[in-house]
């Protein structure tokens, strides 16, 4: 029997069974269509990114206790914001990033048996578990992106001080007046540091675009007072 893992809890822990099987989704391409009057070539389609993907799960459970309490626990689990990661037991080695959760009506189908559907709207790309592994280095390296089918948006935790420049192929990440360390997250488009368990936004320290890891070789070097860099590559596929 399959299960999902979301908000640090399995659907089985909530005593939920999944009745349907989810196929591995594929994102559709978005285009902006521009009509060209008088052209024999028809309209012009301009690439505009990827559509979000959706996964719908049909759940069933037996409500042996007060139904209102059971429903409240389930909704609280699905609506909490502990983690955006969604894992499905039949899709091994990957996870999804959830953007929105829609919970359908709870229906009584037989005495204590209740059914409902949950639709997860997720980022259009699928993330590989391997891409969560931290790569630590204190000198120039070549990182090969051979697992992904698209460019990835990594997280870099840079330990150092002063003005620092990191080069990834033809890209430059330029940081100024760094104190001890800074985190650059290309996925969330944020630059920050953690101090006393609090996030301190530091986008004013960054003077460049957020870096990506291209498919294939990524030659990484740096200049400035850098002790080490911890990189989470976030390998992913379309």
Beta strands in the chain (DSSP E): 4-6, 9-10, 17-18, 29-34, 44-50, 53-62, 85-88, 94-103, 107-110, 113-122, 126-128, 135-137, 141-145, 155-168, 171-178, 181-185, 190-195, 198-201, 216-232, 236-237
For the ranges 125-129, 141-145, 147-151, the lowest mean pLDDT is seen at: 147-151
pLDDT over threshold 90, residue 62: no
pLDDT over threshold 90, residue 110: no
pLDDT over threshold 70, residue 58: yes
Q: What percent of the chain has pLDDT over 70?
A: 97
Which residue blocks in 96-221 are alpha helix, DSSP H? none
Q: What percent of the chain has pLDDT over 90?
A: 71
**What confidence tier does 100 reach under pLDDT thresholds 50, 70, 90?**
very high
Task: Give the CATH number of domain 4-124.
Answer: 2.40.30.200
Residue 147 has a pLDDT of 85
In the DSSP assignment, the letter for residue 179 is -
Residue 42 has a pLDDT of 66
**What confidence tier does 40 reach under pLDDT thresholds 50, 70, 90?**
low
Token code pair at residue 66: 């007060």
Who wins on pLDDT, 22 or 56? 56
pLDDT over threshold 70, residue 177: yes
pLDDT over threshold 80, residue 39: no
What mean pLDDT value characterizes the chain? Answer: 91
**What confidence tier does 196 reach under pLDDT thresholds 50, 70, 90?**
confident
Largest CA distance in the chain: 69
Q: How far is CA 66 from CA 54, 71, 150, in A?
A: 31, 9, 48
Residue 70 has a pLDDT of 87
pLDDT over threshold 70, residue 107: yes
Q: What are phi and psi of 37, to 5 degrees?
A: -60, 135
Q: Decide: 17 and 10 in contact? Cβ < 8 Å.
A: no
pLDDT over threshold 80, residue 64: no
For the ranges 46-55, 160-169, 173-182, 183-192, the lowest mean pLDDT is seen at: 46-55
Residue 41 has a pLDDT of 66
Tens-place pLDDT, residues 205-234: 999 999 999 999 999 999 999 999 999 999
- Residue 39, C-beta contacts closer than 8 angstroms, at least 6 positions apart: none
Residue 24 has a pLDDT of 81
Q: Which CATH class name applies to 128-237? A: mainly beta
Q: Where are the domains of the chain?
A: 4-124, 128-237
Q: Decide: 57 and 4 in contact? Cβ < 8 Å.
A: yes
């Amino acid at each position: 029997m399959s299960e999902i893992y979301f908000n640090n809890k399995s659907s089985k822990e909530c005593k939920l069974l999944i009745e349907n099987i989810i196929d591995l989704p594929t994102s559709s391409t978005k285009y902006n269509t521009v009509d060209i009057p008088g052209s024999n070539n028809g309209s012009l389609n301009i690439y505009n990114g990827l559509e979000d993907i959706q996964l719908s799960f049909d759940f069933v459970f037996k409500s042996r206790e007060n139904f209102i309490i059971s429903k409240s626990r389930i909704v609280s689990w699905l609506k909490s914001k502990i983690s955006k990661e969604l894992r499905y037991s039949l899709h091994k080695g990957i996870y999804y990033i959830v953007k929105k959760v829609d919970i359908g009506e709870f229906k009584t189908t037989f005495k204590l048996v209740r059914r409902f559907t949950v639709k997860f709207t997720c980022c259009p790309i699928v993330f590989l578990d391997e891409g969560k592994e931290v790569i630590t280095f204190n000198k120039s390296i070549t990182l090969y992106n051979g697992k992904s089918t698209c460019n990835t948006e990594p997280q870099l935790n840079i330990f150092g001080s002063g003005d620092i420049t990191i080069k990834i192929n033809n890209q430059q990440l330029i940081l100024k007046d760094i104190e001890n360390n800074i985190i650059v997250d290309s996925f969330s488009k944020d630059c920050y540091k953690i101090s006393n368990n609090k996030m301190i936004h530091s986008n004013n320290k960054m003077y460049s675009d957020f870096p990506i890891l291209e498919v294939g070789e990524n030659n990484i070097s740096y200049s400035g007072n850098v002790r080490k860099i911890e990189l989470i590559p976030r390998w992913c596929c379309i």
